[in-house]
Structure formats: C-alpha cells, structure tokens
Amino acid sequence: MKIRLSAVAFDPWQEIQRHEADQPELAGKFGATTVFVGTLRDFNQGAGVRAMTLEHYAPMTEKYLRRVAEEAASRWPIEDLLVIHRHGELGPGDPIVCVAVWSAHRDAAFAACRYVIDELKTRAPFWKQELTETGRRWVEQEKQ
C-alpha cells in the first residue's frame, strides 16, 4: 500500500507501471486492477477555471489518506492500493488524484477504488481555491 502527496505533476499511468514493477511479489496474485484518475476541469459551477491551488496540512492529510486506504483494505479482499494526490498549483488537464486497486476479482477492486475516491472527494482535508475569469474563489467540499 502506497500513499503519496505530490507538489509536482505526475503521470498516473507511469506511476502505476512503476508501482507494479516495484512490487514483484504481486505478479500472479491479482486478476483485476481498477484505476481512477481525476483531472482538473477548465470549468466548475458555471465558470471557466484557469487554475486551482490545493492546500493541505501534510501530517493530517497523510494520516487521513492512510486511514481511508486501510479501511478499504479491511472491507474488501484487495492485494494492493496506490493513492497519489497533488497539492499546490494545478492547471486544467493536470492529474489531481490517482487511485489504483489490485485484487483477485473485479468486484472488490471496483468497490474499494470507488470507496477510496468517494472518501477523498467528500472528506479529505484539502482546501481548494480556483482562479476563474472573475478572480479567486474557495470551493466547498462535495457532499456525500
């Protein structure tokens, strides 16, 4: 299980390949890999978005992300889990989050992946500020 907060851009597909390569003991143990990649849209709430700044308090955020990953691992029979989440300044099209789940079966992989991303979207301690055509604005977290 790997959790990483990143201040720099990342390629989710390269990260997944690297993660699998670094885990040779996983080979043959999974029959399903479910991946969610969230990217910054160029619109939100009826306005064009030029950029977004994601702020967080690292110790609190890392602890929360690890807890969510451990909850998923305890609820579904998964082999491994990867979460990478950006912070700092992002532009439209930039990956914000990557969640990948490896499991012997697709149902567990899908369920665990959905659980993790839903928890991150609704409860993770990130503060989002968008830059729109009319200036900066804070964005409220999604409701579950």
**pTM to 2 decimal places:** 0.92
Q: What's the number of CA atoms in the CB half-sphere (13 Å) around residue 43?
A: 3
What span, in angstroms and rounded, lies between the C-alpha atoms of 46 and 135? 14
State the pLDDT at residue 77: 98
What span, in angstroms and rounded, lies between the C-alpha atoms of 57 and 102? 28
State the pLDDT at residue 63: 96
What span, in angstroms and rounded, lies between the C-alpha atoms of 58 and 7? 11
What does each of the 144 residues of the chain score in pLDDT, given as a tens digit?
999 999 999 999 999 999 999 999 999 999 999 999 999 999 988 889 999 999 999 999 999 999 999 999 999 999 999 999 999 999 999 999 999 999 999 999 999 999 999 999 998 999 999 899 898 989 887 765
Single-letter amino acid, residue 27:
A
